[in-house]
Structure 1
Amino acid sequence: MSKSNLIQALNESEPRFTKMAKDIWEHPEVGYTESYASSLQAGLLEQEGFRITTGVGEIPTAFVAEYGQGSPVIGILGEFDALPGLSQTVSPDQTPIVPGGPGHGCGHNLLGTAGVEAVTALKQLIHEGTLPGTVRYYGCPAEELLSGKTFMARDGVFDDLDCVLTWHPGSSNMAANYSMQALTGVEFFFSGRTAHAGAAPHLGRSALDAVELMNVGANYLREHVPDGSRIHYQITNGGQAPNIVPDAASVYYFLRGKDRAAVDHLLERLIKIAQGAALMTETSVRSNIKAGCYDTLPNATLNDLMHAQTEIAEAIRFTPEEEAFAEQLLKSVHPDVLAANAEAALLSEQSILPTEFINNKHVFGMTMGGSSDVGDVSWITPMGQIMTTCAPLGVQVHTWQATAAFGSSIGMKGMHYAAKLMALSAYDLLLNTNGVIEQAKAEFKERANGVTFRAGIPAEVKPPVPAHIKMTVPAG
């Protein structure tokens, strides 16, 4: 079967995977609770003859689906978690399906489904003997909590990959030639002593005072961190009532930096600030690392390989109705947001639904402000990543407008395009065309510069999986 036959098979399977993506969009589940989506994908792949391993990284909704034998071993990453508070119909007006409920504002209903779509097509070629080696799909939970892949990586499930491919829904078609920031999520818990806040405040030791003093110290730290580092926080427990000196309070911090070492150093300083706050208030403090992902290490060899497939895969075509929906959706986006959208500025002369694949190699290695646990995988094995048009140019992810787009036919078309580019790239990798695997590995070694992956979440920390969450597909 040639690449043209592979594309034909993918075209014929589109209705099946449109249904899956829409089904997951209609059943949004936040991180570590994705039983429906995980079971749906693993169940389909099991029916297709894949070997299924569930409970990866001690997470019930994490799984690996594998088909084939021997080398090379090529992986495709998928995600399926939703975001809280982003429930939305496929409408240009803000109309949540469930007010306050979750929604797929980052398009992970599309992200994971495209991976399943790609490996299902590749499986047939391996079965027929056209392709050698092994293909794997990784069902990765809780990307939005920046930890799902970290627990999986800590479990070693990516260690024997030759290369891995992934993608993300966006508002244009391009390779992910940029890097994202490393991150640590750490929660601090202060313990003090209660007292009547009016009658005997001197007998109390306020844990909330400790939290506030810690926050003050962290705010002064901001001036003395490297450029690009970020410190965010949220008070997670501020006490029970104003007339009680609180004996328990907590605060959750996100620390970002250009690489893992920078974030680890920032964490050391923040821990000292927490200890100082405890000393000042005669309280005690403990901390719990809840997330710890690496910056992403882009691989030009694999990104170029994925870009090259656009010469074979037909570009996305949007209908006048889809263009009209996109225009209506953009009317709800604040002008300041549109003006600040660097991507929109870069592509302002194009359609609001770009169809061409952009050559953005000039941004290679530049650091974006966000973070993702795909960074962990990129430091274990060479990783290629693309974005495709799944929403109008100017719509940002993590918004209700994005949820609407990712549930629409616009999102579905971008998903199918991504599936084709990943499947075609994996085709070349499985055949090791022109020694592309060796090239990708050589680049990986050079860019890693001696740094080896070490999970940013300590071994004693377990995934925060709710007790009721189960995976219905048995290990295979």
Structure 2
Amino acid sequence: MVIRSLSIALLVLYLAPAAAQNELKEKAAASVDEQYVALTELSDKIWSYEEIAFRETQSAAALKAYARANGFTVTENVGEMPTAFIAEYGSGKPIIGILGEFDALPGLSQATVPEKQPLNEGGAGHGCGHNLFGTASLGAATAIKELIEAGQLKGTIRFYGTPAEEKFFGKLWMVRAGVFDDVDVMMDWHPSASTKVSVQTGLALVDFVVEFKGQAAHAAADPWNGRDASDGLELFTTGINYYREHVKPSVRIHYDIQNAGEVVNVVPDYARVWTRVRDGDRQGVQVVYDQVKRIAEGAAMMANVEYELTLISGIHEVLVNRTGAAALQANLEAMGPITYTEAEQEFAKGIQAAVGKPEIGIESKIEPLEETQKTPSGGSTDVGDVSYVVPTIRLRATTAPSGTPWHSWAVVACGGMSIGHKGMKYAAEAMARTMVDLFTDDDLREEIRKEFVEDLDGYEYDGMVPAGPPPVDSRF
């Protein structure tokens, strides 16, 4: 009888912390529910502002206003970027951070209808769902703030408003400013066509601009007096395209010709091309970058023109933390998947029909925790650089149907209506629940940090940004 009583007592002691933790998670989820109308309004405002990199003045202002209204202390102009900010509440350790983006993409203006229909012809649009991204993260941070304010959690919650992810990678200058250095664990999410914990590394990259400068002349009367800058540009891109045969399968090279002359009867004296090189890790990117720089030099020599190569920025691949990922996965499975109405499924099928994909609607499910692939695929993100400074847990939540081309009008359409709003709410709740774990479970934080240190394996982070201020007023 004594042994049985002792066993029951030990069981109660074991279950009590878990029960208290679950109670806090339910309170955090309730907070997200209570915020839902306000978060939807905030997301729709940012969706309508459609502001591109470093021009997100109204979007940042709206997020800061929401943070201040909910009791956060806001620090502006972080890393010398007017639209970068930090919203913080609480004091002491642990410090849990959460990232939020809010920039749009040029040329993707779109109404909330399942066929291509620009709201503003030629205008920008949230083709990556960043109107949902920053809003959900701030909603999750607010839910945690309320628990700290009530004395039910101890520590500091910190929301990072991070601009210009789509073009200049604003987080790089925030890393350089040291604003992540004291954070214990970082949370992050991204809109997606599926709901799962993100455990793939993505691609590292480097961005640079090559300018060619020659001598203008009349294209018919005296072309021999001209030195054609666009010849240099064409030889450069031709060299890149021949080089593609000799790179690893993980390498991606893109370019955008921004200027190659104004009129046909003038030999152009100026040409410019924005170039982006990617590979599975920073080391691989450097090899390709060095060769492409040599191609630029050779192109200028062949065209008898001058050239200038300007580094814009470069980012690391993501350092995956599987310990943190497992904690997030457990919360997703406890929540269950997003559910959709018949009308939302019809909207999704309309999107799929418009982009030529199977009309299957949205799958309402949570993907299992994947293995982290040695050879990465997909896109790139400046979250990678953050993940080399602080252990980072990442989520993807469904905000558009499968088959939707990302960075397209179709994502904009979904992000301004209920499909996007539901994904936003789901992400906020999932991250808030996981942050409860991070605040209350010292052992979990210790294991996350241990994995982080082991994976770094002595690597000293070196950000790839040019000297001087961030390119807020870039001529590119």
Instruction: Answer whether contact 2:213 2:270 (CA < 8 A) is retained.
Output: yes
- Compute the displacement of 1:303 (Å): 1.3
Which region of structure 1 is more displaced relative to structure 2, 184-193 or 197-206?
197-206
Tell me the SS of whatever aligns to 2:345: helix
- Compute the displacement of 1:197 (Å): 2.2
Partner of 1:421: 430
Note the alpha carbon deviations across 1:60-92, whole angstroms, 9 max, x for none.
Answer: 111111111111111100011111121111111
- Compute the displacement of 1:9 (Å): 1.8
Question: Which letter does structure 1 place at the counterpart of 2:389?
Answer: I
Partner of 2:115: 93
CA–CA distance in structure 2, aligned partners of residues 292 and 48 of structure 1: 35
Question: Which letter does structure 1 place at the counterpart of 2:378?
Answer: G
Instruction: Answer whether contact 1:58 1:463 (CA < 8 A) is retained.
Output: no
Does residue 425 of structure 2 align to residue 445 of structure 1? no
Partner of 1:40: 62
Instruction: Answer whether contact 1:147 1:290 (CA < 8 A) is retained.
Output: no
Does residue 466 of structure 2 align to residue 462 of structure 1? no
Partner of 1:65: 87
Which region of structure 1 is more displaced relative to structure 2, 41-50 or 133-142?
41-50
Tell me the SS of whatever aligns to 1:318: coil
Note the alpha carbon deviations across 1:138-178, whole angstroms, 9 max, x for none.
Answer: 11111111511112212221122111011111121111111
Partner of 1:84: 106
Question: Which letter does structure 2 place at the counterpart of 1:60?
Answer: P
- Compute the displacement of 1:369 (Å): 2.8
CA–CA distance in structure 1, aligned partners of residues 123 and 266 of structure 2: 33
Tell me the SS of whatever aligns to 2:202: coil
Aligned residues: 453
Q: 1:240 to 1:311 in 2, by over 3 A?
A: closer
Partner of 1:384: 393
Note the alpha carbon deviations across 1:273-309, whole angstroms, 9 max, x for none.
Answer: 1112222233221111123111111111111111111
Instruction: Answer whether contact 2:346 2:361 (CA < 8 A) is retained.
Output: no
- Compute the displacement of 1:356 (Å): 2.2
Tell me the SS of whatever aligns to 1:362: coil
CA–CA distance in structure 1, aligned partners of residues 467 and 474 of structure 2: 19
Does residue 305 of structure 2 align to residue 283 of structure 1? yes
Tell me the SS of whatever aligns to 1:298: coil
- Compute the displacement of 1:461 (Å): 5.7
Does residue 127 of structure 2 align to residue 105 of structure 1? yes
TM-score, normalised relative to structure 2: 0.91
Q: 1:414 to 1:366 in 2, by over 3 A?
A: farther
- Structure 2: state its 5+ residue gaps: 1-22
Name which of 189, 205, 212 aligns with 1:190: 212
Question: Which letter does structure 1 place at the counterpart of 2:41?
Answer: K
- Structure 1: state its 5+ residue gaps: 339-343, 345-350, 468-476
Note the alpha carbon deviations across 1:328-356, whole angstroms, 9 max, x for none.
Answer: 22211214xx5xxxxx9xxxxxx732332
Taking the TM superposition and a 5 Å limit, the aligned residue runs for 1:58-457 are 58-313=80-335, 315-335=337-357, 352-431=361-440, 433=441, 435-457=443-465
Which region of structure 1 is more displaced relative to structure 2, 173-182 or 215-224?
215-224
Partner of 2:18: none
Structure 1 stretches (4+) deviating beyond 4 angstroms? 363-366
CA–CA distance in structure 1, aligned partners of residues 264 and 347 of structure 2: 49
- Compute the displacement of 1:93 (Å): 2.1
- Compute the displacement of 1:448 (Å): 2.4
Instruction: Answer whether contact 1:236 1:250 (CA < 8 A) is retained.
Output: yes
Question: Which letter does structure 2 place at the counterpart of 1:455?
Answer: G
Instruction: Answer whether contact 2:168 2:471 (CA < 8 A) is retained.
Output: no
CA–CA distance in structure 1, aligned partners of residues 268 and 317 of structure 2: 38
TM-score, normalised relative to structure 1: 0.91
Instruction: Answer whether contact 1:146 1:293 (CA < 8 A) is retained.
Output: no
CA–CA distance in structure 2, aligned partners of residues 464 and 255 of structure 1: 22
Instruction: Answer whether contact 1:32 1:466 (CA < 8 A) is retained.
Output: no
Tell me the SS of whatever aligns to 1:91: coil
CA–CA distance in structure 1, aligned partners of residues 201 and 418 of structure 2: 29
Question: Which letter does structure 1 place at the counterpart of 2:201?
Answer: S
Tell me the SS of whatever aligns to 1:287: strand
CA–CA distance in structure 1, aligned partners of residues 172 and 195 of structure 2: 27
- Compute the displacement of 1:127 (Å): 1.3
Tell me the SS of whatever aligns to 1:357: coil
Instruction: Answer whether contact 1:289 1:461 (CA < 8 A) is retained.
Output: no
- Compute the displacement of 1:311 (Å): 4.1
CA–CA distance in structure 1, aligned partners of residues 239 and 115 of structure 2: 42
CA–CA distance in structure 1, aligned partners of residues 395 and 65 of structure 2: 27
- Compute the displacement of 1:310 (Å): 2.2
Tell me the SS of whatever aligns to 2:313: strand
Q: 1:413 to 1:217 in 2, by over 3 A?
A: same
Partner of 2:4: none
- Compute the displacement of 1:96 (Å): 1.4
Question: Which letter does structure 2 place at the counterpart of 1:388?
Answer: A
Higher relative contact order (CA 8 A, sep 6+): 1
Q: Percent identity between the aligned chains? A: 40
Question: Which letter does structure 1 place at the counterpart of 2:418?
Answer: S
Which region of structure 1 is more displaced relative to structure 2, 410-419 or 322-331?
322-331
Instruction: Answer whether contact 1:81 1:143 (CA < 8 A) is retained.
Output: yes
- Compute the displacement of 1:363 (Å): 4.5
Question: Which letter does structure 1 place at the counterpart of 2:55?
Answer: T
CA–CA distance in structure 2, aligned partners of residues 384 and 28 of structure 1: 28
Instruction: Answer whether contact 2:313 2:466 (CA < 8 A) is retained.
Output: no
Question: Which letter does structure 1 place at the counterpart of 2:82?
Answer: P
**Structure of greater Rg:** 2
Instruction: Answer whether contact 2:126 2:415 (CA < 8 A) is retained.
Output: yes
Superposed CA RMSD: 1.8
Question: Which letter does structure 2 place at the counterpart of 1:322?
Answer: E
Note the alpha carbon deviations across 1:390-413, whole angstroms, 9 max, x for none.
Answer: 111222321211111111111111
Partner of 1:341: none
Tell me the SS of whatever aligns to 2:171: helix
- Compute the displacement of 1:205 (Å): 1.7
